[in-house]
Amino acid sequence: MKISPYIENLIEKAGKLNKTIVLPEGEDERVLQAAHEAAVRKIAKLIILGNPNEIKAYFEKQNWSLEGIELLDPLQSPKLKEYAKLLFELRKEKGMTEEEAAKTVLIPNYFATLMIKAGDADGMVSGANHSTADTVRPALQIIKSAHKDRVVSALFIMVAQNGKTYYLSDCAININPTVKELVDIALSSAESVVQFGDEPNIAMLSYSTYGSGKGEGADKVREATAMAKEALKNQEYASLKVNLDGELQVDAALDAVVAKKKAPSSNVAGQANVLIFPNIEAGNIGYKLLQRLGGAEMYGPLLQGLNAPINDLSRGCFAEDIVGVIAITVLQTQK
Ligand SMILES: CC(C)(COP(=O)(O)OP(=O)(O)OC[C@H]1O[C@@H](n2cnc3c(N)ncnc32)[C@H](O)[C@@H]1OP(=O)(O)O)[C@@H](O)C(=O)NCCC(=O)NCCS
C-alpha cells in the first residue's frame, strides 16, 4: 500500500495514543484492507462492524491475521439494548419513540456512533458506502458540538504539489455560514491544525483584499475577521500560536509578492496555511479544482468541533485514503 510521507508522519504520532476506532462498513473490501494495514502498523485498535464469518473468511483468504481487530455484528451485540436505550434517552425530546430507537440502533453508522457515546470506542471512520449526510447526521444528533453554540464544520487537509500542507474549511457542511458561523469555522480550524502539530496562519478568504472589492460577501468576511481576532484574545486560545487575518483574496493569502502589494501590513498574507472559505460553494468548488487540476492530495472532509472524532470518506476513496483518515481520527481524539 502506497502511503504518502505526510500520512506516514501522522501514523507515527497516532500509534503512540493507543486509541480504538470503529469502522461500520465491514461489507466493503477497501475498509477491510485499510483495517488490516492500520492493525499491522498499530495505528489504532480497530472494531469492524459487519458479518464476522464473512470478514474472517476474507482475512483467511488473504492470509492476514486479525490481531488488533475486533469483529462485531450489531445484531448479536450484548450491548444492543443498552445502546437503543441510550439513543432513546438522547432523542426522545426530539420525538423519537422506543420502537424507532430499537430500529435505528441497527443502522451501522448509528450503532458505531452510539459505541463512541457509550465510551466503547474513541472515533469512527465511515462513508466509503454512505453519503456525507448519512455519515454526519448521527454524529450531529448524538455526539454533538464540543462547544456550546458553535457549529460543527468540515476541514480538508491538502498536501500541495510543492509539498506544503494547507488546511481548507468549510468545504462540506455549512452551506451559507453567517458571520458568527464563519468565526466558529475559523476557531475550530485553528484547534484542528494545532492537533495535527502545525501552526495556523489563517486567511479569511474573499474576492476582496482589505476593502478593495465592495459587496455583502466581502462585508461578511471583514466582520467575521474582526470577531475572530477578538475571540482569539480569550484565555482558551492564549496558548495556541494562531495568526488570523482578512479579508484576503487567495493570491494575497498565498503569494508573498502579491501580499506585499495588496496587504503589506498583514501578518498572514503571503504565508497562509489555513484557508477559510466564505461559503460551501467557494469551498467545495475550490477544493475539487485543487484536487482535479492542481494535483493536490486531499484528506477529508474531516469533521471538527465535535465532542469525539467522526470522519467521512469519499465514496470513491482508496484503501490507503482510509488508513490516512484512521490516523487523522486518532490524532483528533487529543483534547
Ligand atoms: C450536515 C447536514 C447533512 C445536516 O443536515 P440535516 O441532516 O438535515 O440536519 P438537521 O438540520 O435535521 O439537523 C440534525 C441535527 O444536527 C444539528 N446540526 C445540523 N448542522 C449542524 C452543524 N453544522 N453543527 C452542529 N450541529 C448541526 C442540528 O442542530 C440537529 O440537531 P438536533 O436534531 O439535536 O436538534 C447538512 O448541513 C448538509 O446537508 N450539508 C451539506 C452536505 C453536503 O452536501 N456536502 C457537500 C458534499 S461533501
- Centre of ligand 1 to C-alpha 141, Å, is 9
Mean pLDDT of 266-273: 97
Tell me which amino acid residue 326 is: I
1-144+307-335 shares its CATH topology with 149-305: yes
* 178-187 residue pLDDT tens: 999 999 999 9
- Centre of ligand 1 to C-alpha 140, Å, is 7
For the chain, the domains span 1-144+307-335, 149-305
| Closest protein CA for atom 10 of ligand 1 | 137
Residue 107 in contact with residue 142, Cβ under 8 Å?
Answer: no
Query: What fold is seen in the domain 1-144+307-335?
Result: Rossmann fold (3.40.50)
- Where does the pLDDT of residue 230 fall: very low under 50, low under 70, confident under 90, or very high at 90 and above? very high
| Closest protein CA for atom 2 of ligand 1 | 133
| Closest protein CA for atom 48 of ligand 1 | 172
- Centre of ligand 1 to C-alpha 138, Å, is 9
- Where does the pLDDT of residue 237 fall: very low under 50, low under 70, confident under 90, or very high at 90 and above? confident
- Where does the pLDDT of residue 1 fall: very low under 50, low under 70, confident under 90, or very high at 90 and above? confident
Q: What is the pLDDT of residue 197?
A: 87
Mutate to test the pocket of ligand 1, among 140, 141, 176, 307 (most ligand atoms within 8 A of CB): 140
- Centre of ligand 1 to C-alpha 189, Å, is 18
Is the CB of 285 inside a 6 Å radius of any atom of ligand 1? no
Task: Record the pTM.
Answer: 0.90
| Residue the block writes with cell 505526510 | 6
Is the CB of 259 inside a 6 Å radius of any atom of ligand 1? no
Mean pLDDT of 6-30: 95
Residue 67 in contact with residue 99, Cβ under 8 Å?
Answer: no
* 297-324 residue pLDDT tens: 888 889 999 999 999 998 888 999 999 9
CA distance 169 to 185: 7
Is the CB of 302 inside a 6 Å radius of any atom of ligand 1? no
Is the CB of 101 inside a 6 Å radius of any atom of ligand 1? no
Q: For strand 153-159 and strand 165-169, is the pairing parallel, antiparallel, or unpaired?
A: antiparallel
Is the CB of 116 inside a 6 Å radius of any atom of ligand 1? no
For residue 234, the tally of other CB atoms under 10 A from its CB is: 9
| Closest protein CA for atom 7 of ligand 1 | 137
Is the CB of 152 inside a 6 Å radius of any atom of ligand 1? yes
- Centre of ligand 1 to C-alpha 135, Å, is 11
C-alpha cell at position 178: 453567517
- Which atom of ligand 1 has the smallest separation from the CA of 145? 25
Q: What is the pLDDT of residue 238?
A: 81
- Centre of ligand 1 to C-alpha 136, Å, is 7
Is the CB of 136 inside a 6 Å radius of any atom of ligand 1? yes
- Where does the pLDDT of residue 236 fall: very low under 50, low under 70, confident under 90, or very high at 90 and above? confident
Phi and psi angles of residue 247, each rounded to the nearest 5 degrees, phi first: -80, 140
Mean pLDDT of 171-197: 95
Q: Does domain 149-305 have CATH number 3.30.230.70?
A: no
Is the CB of 132 inside a 6 Å radius of any atom of ligand 1? yes
CA distance 82 to 231: 40
